[in-house]
Chains A and B, each alone.
Chain A
Amino acid sequence: DVKVTQSSRYLVKRTGEKVFLECVQDMDHENMFWYRQDPGLGLRLIYFSYDVKMKEKGDIPEGYSVSREKKERFSLILESASTNQTSMYLCASSLTGAAYGYTFGSGTRLTVV
């Protein structure tokens, strides 16, 4: 079964810490995405990547960066975590082309204290 795996289900970090969220997919998908999910706001796109070492900003990139050194791995980095970054973070991947849906990971619930 195809999978998108996020390294942590729950994470608690302190304000100002550098935080790494990892996502790995085993489907050889070209495209990978990071979303954050907040009540009432749905899923908002932070960053996405359509190829190794390529990245594009989404709708809310401020305070985040990403890294994609290998095709199967896409990392989200919070340079200096703040309490307003407390959220559920979802990683997704897809093949290239308009006819393909996304496969999501189970999410990482990040709490910044």
Chain B
Amino acid sequence: QQPVQSPQAVILREGEDAVINCSSSKALYSVHWYRQKHGEAPVFLMILLKGGEQKGHDKISASFNEKKQQSSLYLTASQLSYSGTYFCGPDISSGSARQLTFGSGTQLTVLP
């Protein structure tokens, strides 16, 4: 089952903040986040491995609530370059071969 992402789309002005949520119906071992710009390959942003873990680089950070089976991506003081579609990819694998099931994505548009 694919995770549920919200919102589906968001439009911001430069400098504004945004939060993207990802919720899974299954227990999560980890959560990946990716960004895809139009016409390009998805690019890896970060992995959260443990419940309660928070990570970030630049002004993009994320949290992982293992018990709630949720993760959130935080974009602070957004820049034009943040525009794109963001995908969460929870790892719900039960075996040794890990694979991700991605959400439908959140389209983020940052306007000047």
Contact = CB atoms under 8 A, between A and B. Distances in A.
Interface size class of chain B, counting residues whose CB lies under 8 Å from the partner chain: 20 to 34
B102 A56 contact: no
Interface size class of chain A, counting residues whose CB lies under 8 Å from the partner chain: 20 to 34
Contact of B44 (A31, A42, A96, A102): A102
A41 B46 CA distance: 22
A98 B104 contact: no
B2 A98 contact: no
A107 B96 CA distance: 27
Nearest to A104: B41
Interface of A: 4, 31, 33, 35, 40-45, 48, 50, 56, 58-59, 90, 96-107
B102 A35 contact: yes
Contacts, number: 64
Contact of A99 (B40, B49, B87, B97): B49
Contacts of B67: none
Contact of A98 (B30, B34, B87, B101): B30
A31 B98 CA distance: 9
Given A42-B87, A43-B87, A44-B2, A101 B47 contact: yes
Nearest to A50: B97
Given A43-B42, A96-B98, 19 more contacts: A31-B97, A33-B99, A35-B102, A41-B104, A42-B2, A42-B87, A42-B103, A45-B101, A45-B102, A48-B99, A56-B99, A97-B98, A98-B47, A98-B91, A99-B47, A102-B89, A103-B44, A104-B34, A106-B40
